[in-house]
Amino acid sequence: MSHDDKFLGAHTIGTTACFFLMDRLYNFSSREGPDPSIDKDLLLELMETCPPNGDINFRLPIDHDSGDTFDIQILENIRNGFAVLQSDAKLMDDPVTKRILDSYFMVTNQSVKPSFEADFVKSMVKMGRIGVKNGPKRGEIRRVCNTFN
């Protein structure tokens, strides 16, 4: 399997609102408390940035400490428990995506080491060819990203 078969690292640039983190920080999986996969230092930082009664519209970088730079840091963050978004953290739960993530860091021979940047470009080109889904027989356009219509 080539690395561009899976699309990883799209959150290397961008922000999210506290609104999208509240359940992960305070009421994870219908239980009280945070997502146990978050690094403890990151958890404290996110809780300080997004307190329970704070501004849910406050924006913070998705790629911790590297939100303004297109780089591989997002994958390192995911591997080390510093994924801001739960959807990124879950990449480590799947053996296929975990293996792909790890492959960017395990190879020491630079001539055979996969290139995050090159793989990202290939994935974006592939996604651009998917086409628009519009209509009941061609797919579903979600009105809310994390739920089905």
pLDDT tens string 121-130 = 787 788 788 7
Question: Which three-class secondary structure string do you get for 63-85?
Answer: CCCCCCCCCCHHHHHHHCCCCCC
Query: Is 61 part of any domain?
Result: yes
Q: Is 63 annotated as a binding residue?
A: yes
Q: Report if pTM > 0.85.
A: no
CATH code assigned at 115:
1.10.420.10
* d(C-alpha 19, C-alpha 55), whole Å: 8
Query: Is 108 part of any domain?
Result: yes
pLDDT tens string 22-74 = 999 999 986 789 999 899 999 999 999 999 999 999 999 999 888 788 888 88
Query: Is 107 part of any domain?
Result: yes
- Segments forming the whole domain that contains residue 44: 3-128
Q: Is 11 annotated as a binding residue?
A: yes
Query: Is 138 part of any domain?
Result: no
Query: Is 149 part of any domain?
Result: no
13 class by beta-carbon count within 10 Å (0-12 exposed, 13-18 middle, 19+ buried): middle
Q: Is 97 annotated as a binding residue?
A: no
Instruction: Domain count for the chain, please give it.
Output: 1
Q: Is 102 annotated as a binding residue?
A: no
Nearest to 8 by CA among 81, 143, 115: 115
* d(C-alpha 7, C-alpha 94), whole Å: 13
**Cβ atoms of 98 and 37 closer than 8 Å:** no
